Structure 1
């Protein structure tokens, strides 16, 4: 293609791209304007607002800043929870403190704690100023939730909930719910929590069931007229580990779970959106850890901090790679005599590495979901070894035939077939044993498992292949 035609095509593509970006910018402005002026039937979520603001920020920093200021307190609060750190910094720099306090008061207690901690990581002084301006009830709720450890159920609950005493009528309870919803004090209501005079949780009644009863009945009469244990609640203690709470949500397909203290007194609730966030965070953490990356370090501003965290794992990888290289160097005479070995070596290490990673990923995931424990090691090993036994035989035979046809050396095919089978068998075994052992030692099985697996599969793969070659072919 002539140079002029090539330049013309590139310019056309750039023009099209600029036009598309401009259209995205205009669309983001239009949607935000409709939301701010309440002219749209579809209300934007916090995620939507954040995405549109990102689009504005890419194109026009001034427009972006002006829209941060235009957002009402409730919209700003919903968006702030979803914003990446650099955007939240912009909010803290451009939005008046009074509006930030108002936005904070629009959130439910658990989101207040989360956002305040988020702000505190960026600017401790600003976080303290905002907290000091909140009303006493909000301060009390935040301090109460902040006292729980990060792995306790209480740290993830919201204090706002819909409850009623047993001697209240259905009408009184529904009227109060209507008032709470109109004033915006309560959102996402799923159930009525019935408590006794001491506040002890007794029953949990879905709203869909509650409204079908005669409104003149008391809550106690509603419960007694139902089937035995129909409204018996599933609950979590505030000191319970959050992983156990996640398991309850998944096992019983819950939308909300009441939280009680050691006396059985109702203190809060955990909703399905909180659990979704936890599962998402854990999944992200596992992905980072399996790759040997610190998820917290990746959120740091500086390249040095993030790079340092990665360098530690890379250094360990370098050490294990040197060991594997030493194994190869030990058989240098064999490789010099039969050059085909150097060509086939990467196939052995690559296949065994993939087989081990498959077993590792499945085992780590099942451990994370609570499906297996160390005590289940026999059953897990039996299954994984059965899988790699079949795959090992199939691919060993296949590679042996390929090597024989390729290099016309029958025994070379036998050597690589045997090495492949040995490597895949060990890889499957190690991919299962390593995370189970780390879990037994109370070490996160996702952290470091891949490094150990890669090192051992490479060493075993190279040693078995080159050792068999030396023994059989020389």
Structure 2
């Protein structure tokens, strides 16, 4: 499908959504994706579509848009409509959207915040009071809860009313609290139909096994990474968030967990490539993206000069034996790829919390074992090829030995570099590749040319 066809399809689907003629309702993510295509070709039509979106879905669509498009939304829409859109959002999304607006226009963000209901303001302030890596920053305060002394029928009636009024979405559990708002139990909605609706929740719990309904909880101040691991390990639909006294504050849902994992994965990929962040890459500003990449290219240039200086130490050797110049890139390239493999696996395991600096001995042994085994195999292979290619058996020995050495060091530093950076609270994905490339180039060139000078000349 060419660009014109994509644009025509996007316009047709958005028009159908706005006119309620589409057979299957578009999700906010779908609408945002179509709006991205429209804006690439027609900014005026993009602004027109934004103005026509209903407040009920506008906020969800805005969150799905990249920052540079969200800026257009903020500048295009009147403040009253932005306020309506935020009031339709769940508390965590409302706090997130308001933060985006604040980054773009602080004055407008203050105007919007001051116009919100008192309850909405308090919820947003509570969520934003947490650091960005704390679980409380990801929670939503809308949840289905009931007191121990409350009858199940009363609780269900309240749930029905809240659902009809659009106050609750994606409900999967009933959180049971005591008179002090301390969370005691959590019952899946599917289990509620098994109970006597005329009994109190305390009677129901006592009649059943209490341990069955003891909830997995997240402390509001604990790292979000730990909460995500817990949700994944126990396959939870949502997890309640409590404070140090056990008071129920909110919940974190699977969509929040999914967004965090996606953002983390994207950040790791961009960092490994030394390309800045995703928002900056999506931004229309060519200068920003160029500057971000250029900084790392400058660092890479410096390390490349270091590697080249190693070659300069053996210029007489290369001049005397031209075959070395032909084979030299093979040693560095194979070592670099081996190191990248070890680096990628190590960064992934660090991100997932599977290893730490203190217990990385087994991981290091494994990567060294893999690197050494592959080193032996490819050292023998390239040694045979080089021997027949240039009709010089000892040249095969030199390149084979150099490759084995480089494989070993590539596996070692591909594991140790990210572990060390993590030890000093530096993102292991940032800069690891540059450091590793320098090591594999220097070791590869020095070992190959040094052995050649010692053995062949």
Q: Provide the rounded CA distance (Å) in 2 between the counterparts of 1:63 and 1:293.
A: 31
Larger displacement relative to structure 2 (95-104 or 456-465) = 95-104
| CA drift at 1:297 | 5.2
Q: Decide whether the 8 Å contact of 1:204 with 1:231 is kept in 2.
A: yes
| CA drift at 1:158 | 0.5
1:89 paired residue among 71, 95, 118? 71
| CA drift at 1:22 | 4.5
Q: Decide whether the 8 Å contact of 1:45 with 1:78 is kept in 2.
A: no
1:462 paired residue among 421, 445, 451? 445
Q: Provide the rounded CA distance (Å) in 2 between the counterparts of 1:440 and 1:66.
A: 51
- Match of residue 299 from structure 2: 316
1:76 and 2:58 matched: yes
RMSD value, Cα:
1.7
| CA drift at 1:294 | 2.5
Q: TM-score, normalised by structure 1?
A: 0.92
- Match of residue 327 from structure 1: 310
Provide the secondary structure at the position in 1 that maps to 2:358: helix
Alignment of 1:132-281 (within 5 A): 132-281=114-263
Q: Which runs of 5+ in 2 are unaligned?
A: none
Q: Decide whether the 8 Å contact of 2:382 with 2:396 is kept in 1.
A: yes
Q: Decide whether the 8 Å contact of 2:68 with 2:284 is kept in 1.
A: no
Alignment of 1:51-62 (within 5 A): 51-62=33-44
| CA drift at 1:320 | 1.6
- Match of residue 447 from structure 1: 430
Alignment of 1:417-428 (within 5 A): 417-428=400-411
| CA drift at 1:448 | 1.3
Q: Provide the rounded CA distance (Å) in 2 between the counterparts of 1:231 and 1:146.
A: 31
Q: Deviations over 1:299-344 (max 9, x none)?
A: 6664444433333322322222112111111111110111000000
Q: Provide the rounded CA distance (Å) in 2 between the counterparts of 1:268 and 1:351.
A: 51
- Match of residue 419 from structure 2: 436
Q: Provide the rounded CA distance (Å) in 1 between the counterparts of 2:400 and 2:450.
A: 13
2:352 paired residue among 342, 364, 369? 369
Q: 1:437 to 1:48 in 2, by over 3 A?
A: same
Q: 1:210 to 1:288 in 2, by over 3 A?
A: same
Q: 1:209 to 1:320 in 2, by over 3 A?
A: same
Q: Deviations over 1:1-22 (max 9, x none)?
A: xxxxxxxxxxxxxxxx7xx545
- Match of residue 7 from structure 1: none
1:393 and 2:376 matched: yes
| CA drift at 1:26 | 3.9
Provide the secondary structure at the position in 2 that maps to 1:268: strand
Q: Provide the rounded CA distance (Å) in 2 between the counterparts of 1:299 and 1:57.
A: 13
Alignment of 1:3-14 (within 5 A): none
Q: Provide the rounded CA distance (Å) in 2 between the counterparts of 1:421 and 1:207.
A: 60
- Match of residue 48 from structure 1: 30
| CA drift at 1:225 | 2.0
2:399 paired residue among 416, 419, 439? 416
Larger displacement relative to structure 2 (433-442 or 145-154) = 433-442
Alignment of 1:289-304 (within 5 A): 289-295=271-277, 298=281, 302-304=285-287
| CA drift at 1:198 | 0.5
- Match of residue 85 from structure 2: 103
Q: Provide the rounded CA distance (Å) in 2 between the counterparts of 1:306 and 1:54.
A: 19
Q: 1:103 to 1:319 in 2, by over 3 A?
A: same
Q: Decide whether the 8 Å contact of 2:332 with 2:440 is kept in 1.
A: yes
Q: Provide the rounded CA distance (Å) in 1 between the counterparts of 2:292 and 2:222.
A: 32
- Match of residue 386 from structure 2: 403
Q: Provide the rounded CA distance (Å) in 1 between the counterparts of 2:49 and 2:244.
A: 47
Q: Provide the rounded CA distance (Å) in 2 between the counterparts of 1:35 and 1:297.
A: 30
Q: Deviations over 1:154-204 (max 9, x none)?
A: 011001111000111111111111111111111110101000010000001
- Match of residue 339 from structure 2: 356
Q: Decide whether the 8 Å contact of 2:241 with 2:248 is kept in 1.
A: yes
Q: Provide the rounded CA distance (Å) in 2 between the counterparts of 1:65 and 1:300.
A: 17
